[in-house]
Amino acid sequence: MARWTQAALLLMCFCAGSCEDALPEFATETVINTVVQDSQTGRVYLGAVNAVYQLDSALVQERVTITGPKRDSRQCTPPISQTCADPKLTDNVNKLLLVHEANGSLVVCGSLFKGLCSLLNLSNIDEQVYYNDAKGEKTYVASIEETVSVVGVMSTFPKNGEQLSVFLVGKGYGSQDSAKLVSTRILQDYRDWVVFENIVEASAVQANPFVLKFLHNFRHAFKDDGFVYFLFSRTRGGTDNKNFTFVSRLCEGDPHYYSYTELQLNCGPGNAYNKVRSAYVASPGEELAQPHRRGDARTRLVQGQGAVPRTRSCSPC
Ligand SMILES: *[C@@H]1O[C@H](CO)[C@@H](O)[C@H](O)[C@H]1NC(C)=O
Ligand SMILES: *[C@@H]1O[C@H](CO)[C@@H](O)[C@H](O)[C@H]1NC(C)=O
Ligand SMILES: *[C@@H]1O[C@H](CO)[C@@H](O)[C@H](O)[C@H]1NC(C)=O
């Protein structure tokens, strides 16, 4: 299941005394799939169905850009031309938003046109900074299937003494998508590479049979201390279909993903909370850090569990 959360976003408010003022709130007409904040400006961007919103830090709308529906067909290769047999008006599920600070742009990947991405101006998302639908399969990033979840994180990739801007993507299996579970997407043209092309070939996490069998459901991606982490659930590839939650890790800038490792997270008695729904990275408070203290207090992953009212914590140990 994709993250079909309600189409409303609440901003947490920490008040010294009583919290009588209403929390800022912003509602959209369509479902919100993904949210990202620019830490420099405080702006919040919402990836909804057929629209991307630009809000200020108090959740007041600055801009909205309409990204769908558009004429598309799963069978056709973009750009959709006269030769495409039966294009239909298709919703654009905006699945992935990332702030590309160095470029002043927002990376936006939707479900239209094989999951192509574009770059929009961070201070005015109506202005398209980059879009090219003619570069072929290597530039398809997200999934055309509404329910396939996609997560990503900005990073850099060392090449010939340069640090190239890239983003890493974790994506579940969609029957008509590329079969890459994890990919590294470049954000500039560089030699033979074009913007959004996958620049790492690593069979261990990109092979078709592997992805199909395990029903990966990505929930979160983040960076910490030179590593990139993905949080997801998947089955063990057997027939029972039971899901387990994993955190996987690889070194930032590992050009072959040789450092890729996975660790299962068991939550609750008998692993009752076996499927991760959402996650947030925070520093542990004193109590949470206590049983796991090993020298310094480290970043702790907090794993939210769907309908369970109180947040539970998981730690890889
Ligand atoms: C975004 O828009 C601002 C204001 O119009 C402009 O100054 C800036 O150069 C634009 N950035 C990009 C990446 O196009
Ligand atoms: C942002 O990136 C795009 C795609 O690589 C490029 O065309 C554009 O010139 C860049 N703009 C800036 C301001 O770096
Ligand atoms: C495990 O998760 C997948 C997708 O996230 C779902 O299709 C499947 O039904 C789940 N299995 C069980 C037993 O709930």
The answer to whether the CB of 119 falls within 8 A of the CB of 99 is no
The confidence band for 305, taking pLDDT boundaries of 50, 70 and 90, is very low
The pLDDT value recorded for residue 301 is 54
Q: Among all ligands shown, which has an atom nearest to the Cα of 102?
A: 2
The answer to whether the CB of 142 falls within 8 A of the CB of 167 is no
When the pLDDT of each residue in the chain is averaged and rounded to a whole number, the result is 81
With a CB cutoff of 8 Å and minimum separation 6, the contacts of 220 are: 151, 230, 231, 276, 278, 279, 280
Structure-model confidence comparison of residues 253 and 38, the more confident one: 38
The pLDDT value recorded for residue 8 is 40
Q: Is the CB of 313 under 6 A from ligand 2?
A: no
pLDDT, tens digit, 9 for 90 and up, residues 202-248: 877 766 666 677 888 999 999 988 899 999 998 887 777 888 999 99
Q: Among all ligands shown, which has an atom nearest to the Cα of 277?
A: 3
Q: How far is the CA of 121 from the centre of ligand 1 (A)?
A: 6
Q: Name which of 37, 158, 43, 30 is nearest 94 in CA terms.
A: 30
Task: Using a pLDDT cut of 70, give the percent of the chain over it.
Answer: 82
Helix (H/G/I), strand (E/B), else coil: 288: helix
Q: Is the CB of 131 under 6 A from ligand 2?
A: no
With a CB cutoff of 8 Å and minimum separation 6, the contacts of 222 are: 153, 228, 229, 281
The pLDDT value recorded for residue 292 is 55
pTM of the model: 0.82
The pLDDT value recorded for residue 256 is 87
* Pocket-testing residue among 98, 122, 130, 187, ligand 2, by greatest number of atoms within 8 A of Cβ: 130
